[in-house]
Amino acid sequence: MVTFLILLFVLVLIAYNFLRHPKFGKKPSGERLALIQKSPQYKNGKFENQNFTPDLAEGANYFSVSYEFFFKKVERKIPADLIPSIKTNLHEIPLHQDVLAWFGHSSYFIQLEGKRFLIDPVFSGNASPISGTTKAFKGTDVYTVDDLPEIDYLLITHDHYDHLDYETILKLKAKTRKVITALGVGSHFEFWGFQKENIIEKDWYEKIELDENIILHTTPSRHFSGRSFTRCNTLWTSFVLETKDFKIYLGGDSGYDSHFAEIGQKFGPFDIALIDNGQYNKNWKYIHNMPEDVIKAMHDLKAKRVFPVHSSKFALALHAWDEPLKKVTELNRLHEKPLPLITPLIGEIVELKNENQEFKQWWNGIN
């Protein structure tokens, strides 16, 4: 009995010290918390979605979902082959060129109207607070922070580990002018040494005039947040990036809901929409789009071209690694009004204003 109690004490002590690591961030407090409490999205001590959003779908329970997640064998969940890529030198791209480079999952670089944006970068090799778990697929970590030019605006959609990576953020500190994110997320950045005056936090449907040519809007998504046991004490968001002649929807993580049509009505049509398409499951369909939801969302948003993201780098769900791209491509092909899909290799340059640029289905033939 004594041995058991000693062992239990040691385990509790280890867990306590582990959870105190800076990577877990810091929950909002003080003036930041007071501002959060004024948000229409903040109710009963936490942020909520526009409509009721259960963690799990009808008929699912935490035990069965957890058992399936950890013990069910899924063929090709992780690719056996190397994921192909193109190592474009981002330092050499002239500022007048409007381009996008994808780094896998939901991380990407945008250069527009002479400004450089970096969205949800994860370059540490894993999407988890525990090193060596949720590893990036072979071939997907070809970029590092050193490969990036100076960043004008670092955009973070929410604080989950596959979107807000502690190691990457620390390395970005010296080359990032401003951080723009949702309410509460700035608490992590301040805790990690970023200057308060360089952090901009917004609620849904607020706008930031970046300069006379570029406006950034924060818009709703249907998801949740949290880096430890406390959930939803920071907000999650999507973004609308708008110039005088171009609009991009930067979707972040989201399940399907009325907000897509709402955003499409308010800001559409979009020249390009980046939409969450991957790491889905029928058991958590309310917080991640199923492939058929992506098709509905792209039309709700009034998108002209669509970039399905949130796949091809981490295995966070029970589907084959390439299923999201295969399914959305086929569903789009069968739709009465198919839209051009943007499906670049990691590092391949997307010419934002070239509507005729074509992309290969690069995932075909990769095991």
pLDDT above 50: residue 16: no
Of 277, 267, 246, give the one whose Cα is nearest residue 351. 246
Of 100, 168, 137, give the one whose Cα is nearest residue 348. 100
pLDDT above 50: residue 339: yes
Q: Rounded distance, CA 304 to CA 339, Å? A: 7
Angle (deg, nearest 10), helices 291-300 and 323-334: 50
**pLDDT tens by residue, 52-98:** 999 999 988 888 889 888 888 999 999 999 999 999 999 999 999 99
- The answer to whether the beta carbons of residues 273 and 251 sit under 8 Å apart is yes
**pLDDT tens by residue, 175-211:** 999 999 999 999 999 999 999 999 999 999 999 999 9
Give the model's confidence band at 19: pLDDT under 50 very low, under 70 low, under 90 confident, else very high.
Answer: low
Tokens matching residue 322: 């390439």
| Phi, psi at 273, each rounded to 5° | -125, 125
Tell me what the pLDDT averaged over the chain comes to.
Answer: 95
What pLDDT, on the 0 to 100 scale, is given for residue 18?
52
Taken in order of first residue, the domains within the chain and their CATH numbers are: 52-351 (3.60.15.10)
Tokens matching residue 243: 């110039």
- The answer to whether the beta carbons of residues 334 and 277 sit under 8 Å apart is no
Give the model's confidence band at 8: pLDDT under 50 very low, under 70 low, under 90 confident, else very high.
Answer: very low
**pLDDT tens by residue, 215-266:** 999 999 999 999 998 999 999 999 999 999 999 999 999 999 999 999 999 9
pLDDT above 50: residue 14: no
Q: What single-letter amino acid sits at 231? A: R
The SS3 call for residue 193 is coil
What pLDDT, on the 0 to 100 scale, is given for residue 132?
87
Q: How many residues does the chain have?
A: 367
Encode 8-40: b = buried (16+ Cβ within 10 Å), e = exposed. eeeeeeeeeeeeeeebbbebbeeebeeebeebe
**pLDDT tens by residue, 119-167:** 999 999 999 999 889 999 999 999 999 999 999 999 999 999 999 999 9
Percent helix, percent strand, percent coil in the chain, to nearest 5: 25, 20, 55
